[in-house]
Amino acid sequence: MGRSLGATIQSIAGLSVPPEEMQRIQQDYVQQATSLWNQAIDRQAEWKPADKRFAAPEWSANPAAAFTASMYLLNSRTLRRLADALQGDDKARERVRFAVQQWVDASAPSNFLALNPEALKKALDTGGTSITQGVQQLLHDLRQGHLSQTDESVFHVGQNVATSAGQVVFENAFFQLIEYAPLTDKVYERPFLFVPPCINKFYILDLQPENSVVRHLVSQGHRVFMVSWVNPDESLSQATWDDYVEQGVFEALRVTRDITGADQVNALGFCVGGTMLATALATLAARGEHPVASLTLLTAFLDFSQTGIMDVFVDEAMVRMREMTMGPDSPKGGGLMRGGDLAATFSFLRPNDLVWNYVVGNYLKGEPPPAFDLLYWNSDSTNLPGPFYTWYLRNTYLENKLVQPGAVEVCGEPLDLGLLDMPTFIYGSREDHIVPWESAYASTQVVQGPKTFVLGASGHIAGVINPPEKKKRSHWVSGEVARALPEHASDWLSTAEERPGSWWPVWTEWLSKHAGRQVAAPTRPGSRAHPPIEAAPGRYVLRKA
């Protein structure tokens, strides 16, 4: 196995495994395989699984299944070890590692009915009913066009997710602006504006009352506005990054200030929304405009020099292909990046948790997935206009131009993120596979005003959606608010203090210092120039990809 695989790997992209390391890997493989074979013959030996996929007692109780799982785990370790031992181009090595991991995860014996003793036992116990239900669920998912990660029939946007009371007070072709109803008699005079990612829908920030960032902020006395991006169809297939900045972020800032009469707002950008908000504010600063008093960036890139696993997907050939098929210079002058394709890409960044886990549960065992609001949101995908998407790919992931002053123009202005001199709160999630926390931290070296960095436990979404009442996870703070934080994330972490529970109280305490005095809460949403259009969450969020 080692010799043939090694020869194959060494023929890929000029990569090679040093001969002495190859020999060590081969020797270790033979030794461990022999040990497993002897253990299988000696039925008195107890096999203890080291992987949750094989933790059910049916695996250890069945010698053939135990041996199959053991050999699979050995083969997996050996493949990963070979991939890690490769020498050559860094990007090619990462791509091989990614491909190996995808193959390893897909080939697990737990993914196949004939090799999964747990699924087979359930089929016998239910008289084949589990298989029938699994086939029905497979057909259902084929019809809907994506793998069910949760029981989607349980959730209805506006009824049991996205439930915070409010009114749509403005809309154009790109977004609706929601103003939320106050929950306190007095509110801070400076309003707060959320700019969520247009790659997903806004209600990740307003799932249900007990885990809603929106409701938490409103309950703290903030007057909250939310951008609800439209799910683009062909009418927006030629929309550009500049269009989203000018018709989206600029307009949201303008209308929020018009309605409230405030000179400045506090604003938050989440993920791509943070990148969009930062570029918009730097563009306005170049024009001498400063509509934001404080900026919050949640799991957002400004510096794309370290993009983690996403880097394996992006190179000149890939970006050029996208530009030729859906960019502004393509035959149609645009196109749509389909939401289902984006969702599938993100799921395969964590295939065991977000793909194969559900293949086994839904189809092999015939178990309906549990109802989980976060995963319902994850499946509610959105399209992206091709010109917007290709501009983003080239100028961020591929060429990292946003942090190079003047390297790119946004809305006719040379972009310089160094013009961002307002107080900034920057948050990263320690296990984030989309925006590595070190990259979120790198924004501290880009913005120039007083800044605070907080690190939360868990991943890109679960780390952010962590209400204090749950008393879950932990966060790290340095206690330092300064214009200069350590250059390297590791230096910051070495002096940071870990604290139990949610990071939200740290943020809301910081935010209250930039929100102004308390005034009487408004008695009605909107204004004479911007009367209510419809109740939150509005029409735009209901549009399916």
pLDDT tens string 19-49: 898 999 999 999 988 988 887 777 655 666 6
Is the predicted pLDDT of residue 480 greater than 60, yes or no? Answer: no
pTM for the model stands at: 0.91
In terms of DSSP bridges, do strands 424-429 and 451-456 run parallel, antiparallel, or are they unpaired?
Answer: parallel
Q: Measuring CA to CA, how many Å separate 246 from each of 11, 12, 200, 380, 540?
A: 49, 45, 19, 26, 19
- Do residues 88 and 16 touch, judged by C-beta distance below 8 A? yes
Answer whether residue 353 shows pLDDT above 90.
no
Q: Mean pLDDT over residues 93-107, rounded? A: 91
Catalytic residue among 198, 218, 271, 541: 271
Q: What is the pLDDT of residues 406-461, one digit of tens each?
A: 999 999 999 999 999 999 999 999 999 999 999 999 999 999 999 999 999 999 99
Q: Quick one: tokens of 195?
A: 């700019």
Summarize pLDDT for 287-331 with one digit per residue, the tens.
999 999 999 999 999 999 999 888 888 999 999 999 999 999 999
Residue 258 pLDDT exceeds 70: yes
Average pLDDT over residues 78-102: 89
Orientation angle between helical segments 117-125 and 129-144, nearest 10 degrees: 110
Long-range Cβ contacts of 131-137 (<8 Å, 24+ apart)? 131/366, 132/366, 133/366, 133/367, 133/368, 134/362, 134/363, 134/364, 134/365, 134/366, 135/363, 137/362, 137/363, 137/366, 137/368
235, pLDDT greater than 90: yes
CA distances from 191 to 203, 256, 257, 292, 314 (A): 19, 8, 8, 10, 38
3/425 Cα distance (integer angstroms): 52
Quote the tokens at residue 265: 């707002």
pLDDT of residue 416: 98
Round the CA-based radius of gyration of the chain to a whole number and report it: 26
> Residue 366's Cα: distance from chain center in Å?
28
What is the three-state SS of 13-47?
CCCECCHHHHHHHHHHHHHHHHHHHHHHHCCCCCC
Handedness of CA 262, 264, 265, 271 (dihedral sign): positive
**Hey, where are the domains in the chain?**
2-125, 166-338+383-542
Give the model confidence (pLDDT) of 187-230 as tens digits: 999 999 999 999 999 999 999 999 999 999 999 999 999 999 99
198 noted as active-site residue: no
Q: Which fold has domain 166-338+383-542?
A: Rossmann fold (3.40.50)
Mean per-residue pLDDT over the chain, rounded: 92
**β-strands 384-385, 409-410: how paired?**
unpaired
Which pair of tokens denotes residue 331? 């035959």
